C-alpha cells in the first residue's frame, strides 16, 4: 500500500475519491469505494481515515429509488408527504418536514437531482447502518479501520445557501465534547460541543462539488480521540430542548 506523504502537523487533508461511476441497486458500494480509493496513491486507505459518502449513492445502492406516480397530481410531493412524520412549514413548492430519523429538512430529504427523470431518491432507512456496513466491509476486505459518514445537503432557516451535514456515521463520535476543557486563559470553557461530523461533511462537499461526479471524499488527519462509537441520533435535538419546531 502506498502511503501519502506525511501531512504538516495538525493538517487536515480533504481528498476527492475519483473513479466511482454510476451506482446501481445492489452494487457492492463498499467494494467500489475501496477499489476507487486504492487505485490512486493519494487516497490509498489508512487507519483513521474518514470517508464521507454522499447520500445519493447510498440510496441508489440500497435501492431507495422510487418511480413518481404519474397518476398522482401531487407528483413527487406524494412521496415527500409519506416520508414526513411531521410537516413544519409549507410555502409554495417547498415543504420543511421532520423525517422518521428526526431530521428537519426540505422535502423530507426526497430528491430529484442526480437521478433519472421520473424517479425520486429517498433517504436511506438507517444511514448509521449504511455507514457501518461500509466501515465493516472495508475492515473485512483490507484490515483497515476507517470511519464513515453519510452526508446530505440541507438548508438552514436563517442563512442562505446549503451545506452538507451528516445523516449517518460509524466509527466516529458525532460530537466532540470539549465541555470542561480549559481555554487558553485557563478558564473553564462554557459550551463547546462541536459537531465534527457536520463540519467534516461540509468540508467533503467542497471537494465533491455537485456536478463533477465525485460522490466520496476522504478526510485524513482528524484527531484520533474523535474516533469511536456514535450515531447521528445523538445529533437530533430532543423536542424538549427545541425552541423552533
106 phi and psi angles, rounded to 5 deg: -70, 135
Sign of CA dihedral 121, 125, 131, 132: negative
> At closest approach, how far in Å is the CB of 189 from its own copies?
5
> At closest approach, how far in Å is the CB of 151 from its own copies?
11
User: Rounded to whole angstroms, how far apart are CA atoms 202 and 3?
Assistant: 25
For residues 19 and 136, which CB has a smaller minimum distance to its own copies in the complex? Answer: 19
For residues 168 and 202, which CB has a smaller minimum distance to its own copies in the complex? Answer: 202
> At closest approach, how far in Å is the CB of 185 from its own copies?
6
DSSP state of 99: E
User: Rounded to whole angstroms, how far apart are CA atoms 113 and 29?
Assistant: 20
* 115-143 b/e (C-beta count within 10 Å ≥ 16 → b): eeeeebbbbbebbbebbbbbbebbeeebe
Cell output for 244? 423552533
> At closest approach, how far in Å is the CB of 221 from its own copies?
8
- Give yes or no for a contact between 31 and 141, defined as CB atoms under 8 angstroms apart: yes
For residues 13 and 132, which CB has a smaller minimum distance to its own copies in the complex? Answer: 13
For residues 49 and 198, which CB has a smaller minimum distance to its own copies in the complex? Answer: 198
For residues 209 and 228, which CB has a smaller minimum distance to its own copies in the complex? Answer: 209
> At closest approach, how far in Å is the CB of 139 from its own copies?
24
> At closest approach, how far in Å is the CB of 40 from its own copies?
8
For residues 16 and 133, which CB has a smaller minimum distance to its own copies in the complex? Answer: 16
In DSSP notation, 194-212 reads EEHHHHHHHHHHHHH-SSS
Q: What are the Cα distances from residue 245, in Å, to 62, 93, 142, 164?
A: 31, 20, 44, 21
Cell output for 215? 460522490
Amino acid at each position: 500500500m502506498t502511503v501519502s506523504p506525511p501531512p504538516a502537523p495538525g493538517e487536515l487533508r480533504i481528498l476527492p475519491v475519483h473513479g466511482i461511476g454510476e451506482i446501481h441497486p445492489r452494487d457492492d458500494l463498499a467494494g467500489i469505494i475501496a477499489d476507487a480509493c486504492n487505485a490512486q496513491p493519494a487516497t490509498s486507505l489508512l487507519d483513521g481515515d474518514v470517508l464521507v459518502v454522499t447520500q445519493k449513492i447510498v440510496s441508489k445502492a440500497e435501492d431507495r429509488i422510487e418511480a413518481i406516480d404519474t397518476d398522482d397530481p401531487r407528483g413527487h410531493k406524494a412521496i415527500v408527504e409519506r416520508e414526513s412524520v411531521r410537516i413544519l412549514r409549507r410555502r409554495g413548492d417547498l415543504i420543511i418536514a421532520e423525517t422518521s430519523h428526526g431530521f428537519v429538512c426540505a422535502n423530507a430529504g426526497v430528491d430529484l437531482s442526480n437521478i433519472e427523470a421520473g424517479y425520486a431518491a429517498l433517504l436511506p432507512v438507517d444511514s448509521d447502518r449504511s455507514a457501518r456496513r461500509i466501515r465493516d466491509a472495508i475492515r473485512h476486505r483490507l484490515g483497515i479501520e476507517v470511519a464513515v459518514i453519510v452526508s446530505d445537503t440541507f438548508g438552514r432557516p436563517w442563512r442562505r445557501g446549503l451545506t452538507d451535514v451528516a445523516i449517518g456515521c460509524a466509527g466516529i463520535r458525532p460530537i466532540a465534547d470539549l465541555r470542561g476543557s480549559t481555554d487558553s486563559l485557563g478558564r473553564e470553557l462554557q459550551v463547546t460541543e462541536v459537531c465534527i461530523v457536520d463540519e467534516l461533511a461540509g468540508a467533503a462537499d467542497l471537494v465533491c462539488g455537485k456536478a463533477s461526479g465525485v460522490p466520496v471524499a476522504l478526510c485524513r488527519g482528524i484527531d484520533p480521540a474523535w474516533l469511536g462509537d456514535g450515531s447521528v441520533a445523538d445529533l437530533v435535538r430532543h423536542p424538549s430542548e427545541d425552541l423552533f419546531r
